[in-house]
Chains A and B, each alone.
Chain A
Amino acid sequence: MPLLVLRGVTPVHAQSPHDVSFLSTLGELREATYSDKANIVDRLSKSGHPSVRAVLTALLEDRLYFRNNDRKIFIVKTAEGDPLNLIDPVSLRDAGSAPVDSLTQIGTNNALRRELRTAVARFALSSPEVGVRLDAVREMLRSLDDASVALLRARLGVETDGGVKKEIKTGLALAALDSSDTKGRLEAIATLKQSLSQDVRNRLALLLDKSADGTFVERDEKVRREAASAVEMIDSWRRLYSAIQTLFFGLSLGSVLVLIAIGLAITFGVMGVINMAHGELMMLGAYTTYAVQVAMPGHVGVSILAAIPAAFIVAGLTGVLMERTIIRFLYGRPLETLLATFGVSLILQQAVRSIFSALNRSVVTPGWMSGSLRLNDALEVTYNRLYVVIFTLMVFCLILVVLKRTRVGLEIRAVAQNRAMAKAMGIRTEWVDAVTFGLGSGVAGVAGVALSQLTNVGPNLGQSYIIDSFMVVVFGGVGNLWGSLIGGMSMGIVNELLEPWAGAVLAKIFILVALILFIQARPRGLFPQAGRAAEDK
């Protein structure tokens, strides 16, 4: 009963004529085509109604609906769930709820969303958060009109943050390029010279164009000269940053290569086992990530961290099982090991096909791993790649510490260098073999966690990386962890340098050919293992 009363009361609140015209404009959205909608949005944002911002934001985020039976327009709180909670678009008060079926969403397309974003940005200009203001100014710079310029000019007077001020000044300078006063244009160019933005560069370059009759668009020669030098300056900075970006791409691809190769550097490098199932151990790690994520719904970020030890254990135990049941009977017989582990790889692939189906599984990327870190207008670094680089270095250091500073590591090295002597010293070599293989496999699993963030988690994940990982280990020098690090990183960088002009397919071929030639000249790789152990192999 109280609910009923409340429902009766809500719509009765006073509707001013302003509200009525706002509502009728809003109502036109129901039937309009996309180009008409753009027009309506323009009228709405000029109406000055207090709830314009909320309505436009809702439209931008696909949260504006109309009810099918009475055709009234509502904002919904979140677009997920059933029933949806409604908000009245004029008073912005709660207006009950309604099942999804009884509502129709007011759709948007790309062009309309672009328009809406600019309209919403104007409101965000006075937000208390610096980041929101900065984004708003950048958004407005993309399509400057007189109204935005006036808003920016007003904002400059009260703005306190230096970064935002700088962006606003850029915007005003861009607008000043159209001024009829030569001095004003020269000053604007002097300001814009500091910028790194491609949009600014393109705008300045327009000054150098000739119009159809052969005369320059910009009539003043001094302005043209200044503009040309500004374009040249921005270009040279952008070239520098683009080189840095390519280097980063190379490092990030390199660290993926290193990550997939570290495990192999232990099993193949230290033990000499050609493990064709190495890729499938990575696949197990990736599937473990998926399983952990399914088991922890709602905690995407934590689940990725939890997946790291889980993947190490799953892949590590699988590795120990493989070593105990198959590989230990085949030491010293590389061909049989190769075939047996290839068989294991097929079994593992079919196993995940049966358990998880042949379809790829989608592993959700946590918020802090998507997007990119903006260093300046010309250089952005994607977070997922950045984390992979850091993660690789951490794993590498950890393995190095385990091998060089712990007792297990000492025993592993001892067995690798001289099995008979180690045995004579009282080391249980069989146990050490199992631990070494388990360690290598576990690291492969950990690499799988990282791969789940970069590529598809499916039964074929391992196959697409196995060749690359062997290439890195062979190039770096069998049995040398540092070799794998340097080898992987340099292969990554060379690949990224080649790719832009050779294309992805040719770049791969070039690298393979170069690697073959290199191995011809230095059969033991970049950092050959010295001493007796090397002679034995």
Chain B
Amino acid sequence: MKRKAKAMVMTGWLLIAGTGFSKAAVAEETIKVGVLHSLSGTMAISETTLKDTILMMIDAQNKKGGLLGKKLEPVVVDPASNWPLFAEKAAQLLEKDKVAVVFGCWTSVSRKSVLPVFEKDNGLLFYPVQYEGEESSKNVIYTGAAPNQQAIPAVDYLMKEVGVKRWVLEGTDYVYPRTTNKILEAYLKLKGVKAEDISINYTPFGHSDWQSRVAAIKKFGSAGKKTAVVSTINGDANVPFYKELGNQKISAEDIPVVAFSVGEEELSGLDAKPLLGHLAAWNYFESINTPANKAFIAQWHTFIKNPKRTTNDPMEAHYIGFNLWVKAVEKARSTDVEKVLSALPGLETPNLTGGVAKVLPNHHITKPVYIGEVKADGQFNVVWKSAAEVPGDAWSRYLPGSKDIVADWVTLKCGNYNTITKKCSGQNYK
């Protein structure tokens, strides 16, 4: 009885304190930060983690005293893995909530969906996921890898260090694998690989019967030349794919598979034994031992209250993106999008792996490239890293349509300037 009474008194105090606090918060002017990640639907698995990352960063920044003397206030919306809804929610964040900046999107199709909204309302989006490139918007900062920061170095590694002569480009049937494979095919041919040594194949989303594909890969790989698979297989389909590789006894020592969408988070849910030794190319691995990374992992575990949660590459991209934005706002002494955008190019912030991320005039950033082999515990053993950070290319140098195009938002003020026709072809270039 006594305890109950005490609890009630406590609750009362908390309520009063709570209302008092929220009143104070309302009175105080805040800087609103939009978070546009799917919290339900198929992409929720990946995107919820990114929402939590941004909330953690905002929390930490507020504990340091906020920004420009104001507290940061997150505005979280749920576009529910529904691409048109991404555009609606983006419009809501920019027009109704009037947020200073938005961190969000995962799939390329969601980014393409919000792009017109950000350009119309002159918003600012930080996009944290590796993507197919061929884009540079005035209103987007791309903190994930462009193909030349992930796919091309991975192929270079296989070609030079492993001595791969034959290539299987295996992907899920949608825009990211198709564009990436187009760039890779052009690149491989440029490097003297013959057409008969390249096999490109696409399977539907969630493909589960890999028997004949894996048998075909085995056959393709038994021609006496070292063969590797470059996998842009997405999501669910990876598990049966790697299982079938294991069952048909194709080990990473015979035919290594390098994947661009398999990371720590994906491996945490499955038995990593069939994947042992297969490769992944990213700009960050949880297993990289630096003081900054250790501190970040510890901060993440405390914030999410689960010491088993993994960290991954897009999380690092958000970490970098958030810190860049904070620096830009401090430099511009304002959250005004125009001022922040002109402050961003040239800004530098340390990444988690001991290097520096610098914003380039094309709105991409510099990133180191790491290649890791899967270990039995689902973490990666780094077997190669780039000598220095690689600057991201908005437009691929290896595609005939895009190699003459440059993006420069500092001097040219254009995302797709054609160096031959000397024209800025506008955002709708195709």
Contacts and interface: CB of A to CB of B under 8 A. Distances in A.
Given A110-B277, A249-B211, A500-B216, A456 B236 contact: yes
A110 B373 contact: yes
Q: Which 7 A-B pairs have the closest CB atoms?
A: A202-B224, A455-B208, A382-B247, A198-B222, A114-B253, A362-B270, A249-B211
Interface string A58-99: 000010000000000000000100000000000000000000
Interface residues of B, number: 44
Interface stretch (A157-165, A213-221, A365-373, A400-408): A365-373
A79 to B, nearest CB: 8
A249 B212 contact: yes
Contact of B252 (A110, A245, A361): A110
A90 B375 CA distance: 27
A371 B250 CA distance: 10
Interface string B169-206: 00001000000000000000000000000000111101
B162 A454 contact: no
B388 interface: no
A383 B247 contact: yes
Contacts of B277: 109-110, 113
Interface stretch (A10-18, A267-275, A502-510, A515-523): A502-510
Nearest to B206: A464
22 contacts: A109-B383, A110-B252, A111-B162, A113-B253, A198-B222, A249-B212, A249-B215, A360-B236, A360-B270, A370-B274, A371-B246, A380-B249, A382-B211, A383-B247, A454-B240, A455-B239, A456-B206, A456-B239, A503-B201, A503-B203, A504-B213, A508-B204
A454 B222 contact: no
Contacts of B211: 249, 252-253, 382, 385, 496
A467 interface: no
Interface string A488-504: 00000000100110011
B123 interface: no
Interface of A: 34, 62, 79, 107, 109-111, 113-114, 117, 198-199, 202-203, 205-206, 242, 245-246, 249, 252-253, 256, 358-362, 364-365, 370-372, 380, 382-385, 454-456, 458, 460, 464, 496, 499-500, 503-505, 508
Contacts of A199: 222, 224
A362 B271 contact: yes
Interface of B: 42, 44-45, 162, 173, 201-204, 206-209, 211-213, 215-216, 219, 222-224, 236, 239-240, 243-244, 246-249, 252-253, 256, 269-271, 274, 277, 373, 375-376, 381, 383
A206 to B, nearest CB: 8
Contacts of A364: 271
Contacts of A109: 277, 373, 381, 383
A372 to B, nearest CB: 6
A384 B204 CA distance: 23
Given A111-B162, A382-B248, A504-B213, A358 B373 contact: no
Contacts of A380: 248-249
A199 B224 CA distance: 7
Nearest to B279: A110
Nearest to A383: B247
A383 B249 CA distance: 11
A456 B202 CA distance: 19
A253 B246 CA distance: 18
A15 B303 CA distance: 53
B269 A384 contact: no
B253 A362 contact: no
Contacts of A456: 206, 208, 236, 239-240
A365 B173 contact: no
Contact of B208 (A206, A361, A362, A464): A464
User: Which of B203, B211, B249 has most A Cβ within 10 Å?
Assistant: B211
Contacts of B375: 62
Contacts of A107: 381
User: Which of B44, B215, B274 has most A Cβ within 10 Å?
Assistant: B215
A198 B277 CA distance: 24
Nearest to A364: B271
A241 B378 CA distance: 36
Contacts of A372: 247-249
Given A360-B236, A504-B207, 18 more contacts: A62-B375, A79-B376, A107-B381, A109-B277, A110-B253, A202-B224, A256-B209, A360-B239, A362-B239, A362-B271, A365-B243, A371-B246, A371-B247, A454-B240, A496-B211, A500-B216, A504-B203, A505-B173
